[in-house]
């Protein structure tokens, strides 16, 4: 573990230096992220103004949900975004190098670039939460705050896990990139809603099959005290961050397994 952290630091340095080579992209990316999220924000704003509340949740509660979703997405983007590069790394043969070095190929994948541009997402998420959390009437407790931080981290892991598992398919299949955009879109669109609006069946599906619930809805329900909207007991909701952590562990395992099918292009 200590070894892995040390390797992480070493690889982060190269990633950072590589990023500086491309620094012209930085501001463009941040502005792009802001513009994209502003668009989403506007969309939610319009919805709220039109309906006042969504499926029984006040505008402030929905804002909290949106903020949490954005925050866990920014955690994903910041730490795990490079998992979407698996296709590229496999098809160009860059993965050769990861297998030849005495450290984790997964770690080398994550650090192939430093995700400076993802700061844009982090800033937007922090801003939304800063506005939304005081508006919603939340009874704060230090443990609740700690739980929220963990839940946001776990939500990021879950999104990362899905993308990583998708990426791992690239070892055996071509043309899987379209799934990346699909996952992005599903999380970015449906993830922002209190899932009870999709009915019980819909909310079960979005918990069990496509686990969107963990990146916004469940943590928001806990924080705002709206666990009455969930279809399962509250005590389970408190344990929900375990899903993100376990999901990431399973995805890394799956990735490592699939990497045995790597056929290394070119000669």
Residues at the interface with ligand ADP (CB under 6 A): 263-265, 267
Considering beta carbons, is residue 94 or 202 the nearer one to another protein? 94
Considering beta carbons, is residue 49 or 267 the nearer one to ligand ADP? 267
Report whether 221 contacts 230 (CB < 8 A): yes
Q: Which residues make Cβ contacts (< 8 Å) with residue 150, sequence separation at least 6?
A: 241
d(CA 150, CA 145): 9
Q: How much helix, strand and coil, in percent to the nearest 5, is found in the chain?
A: 80, 0, 20
d(CA 210, CA 143): 28
Q: Minimum distance between the CB of residue 93 and ligand ADP, rounded to whole angstroms? A: 9
Q: Per CB under 8 A, does 22 bind another protein?
A: yes
d(CA 167, CA 85): 7
- For residues 155 to 174, the per-residue mask of contacts with another protein, x marking binding by CB under 8 A and - elsewhere, is --------------x---xx
Report whether 86 contacts 168 (CB < 8 A): yes
Q: Per CB under 8 A, does 103 bind another protein?
A: yes
Considering beta carbons, is residue 32 or 265 the nearer one to ligand ADP? 265
| Six token digits for residue 170 | 């690239």
What phi and psi, each to the nearest 5 degrees, are found at residue 102?
Answer: -80, 45
Question: C-alpha angle with apex 150: 144 to 156, nearest 5 degrees?
Answer: 135
Q: Which of residues 247-266 bind another protein (CB under 8 A)?
A: 260-264, 266
Q: Per CB under 5 A, does 267 bind Mg ion?
A: yes
Stretch that binds another protein, among 25-33, 54-62, 69-77, 90-98 (CB under 8 A): 90-98
Q: Minimum distance between the CB of residue 165 and ligand ADP, rounded to whole angstroms? A: 23
Judged by CB under 8 A, the number of residues near another protein is 32
3-state class (DSSP) for residue 20: helix
Interface residues toward Mg ion, by CB under 5 A: 267
Interface residues toward another protein, by CB under 8 A: 7, 10-11, 13-14, 17-18, 21-22, 93, 96-97, 99-103, 169, 173-179, 260-264, 266-267
């Amino acid at each position: 573990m200590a070894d892995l952290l040390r390797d992480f630091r070493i690889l982060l340095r190269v990633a950072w230096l590589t990023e500086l080579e491309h620094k012209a992209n930085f501001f463009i990316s941040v502005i792009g992220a802001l513009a994209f999220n502003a668009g989403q924000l506007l969309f939610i704003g319009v919805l709220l103004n039109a309906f006042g509340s969504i499926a029984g949740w006040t505008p402030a509660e929905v804002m909290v949900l949106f903020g949490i979703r954005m925050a866990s997405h920014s955690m994903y983007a910041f730490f795990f975004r490079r998992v979407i590069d698996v296709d590229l790394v496999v098809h160009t043969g860059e993965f050769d190098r990861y297998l030849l070095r005495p450290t984790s190929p997964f770690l080398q994948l994550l650090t192939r670039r430093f995700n400076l541009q993802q700061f844009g997402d982090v800033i937007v998420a922090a801003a939304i939460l800063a506005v939304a959390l005081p508006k919603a009437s939340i009874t704060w407790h230090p443990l609740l705050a700690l739980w929220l931080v963990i839940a946001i981290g776990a939500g990021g892991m879950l999104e990362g896990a899905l993308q990583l598992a998708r990426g791992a398919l690239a070892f055996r299949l071509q043309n899987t990139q379209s799934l990346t955009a699909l996952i992005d879109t599903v999380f970015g669109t449906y993830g922002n809603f209190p899932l009870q609006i999709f009915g019980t069946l819909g909310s079960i599906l979005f918990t069990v099959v496509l686990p969107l619930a963990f990146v916004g809805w469940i943590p928001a329900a806990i924080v705002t005290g709206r666990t009455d909207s969930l279809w399962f007991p509250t005590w389970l909701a408190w344990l929900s961050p375990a899903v993100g952590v376990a999901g990431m562990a399973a995805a890394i395992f799956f990735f490592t397994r699939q990497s045995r099918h790597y056929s290394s292009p070119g000669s």
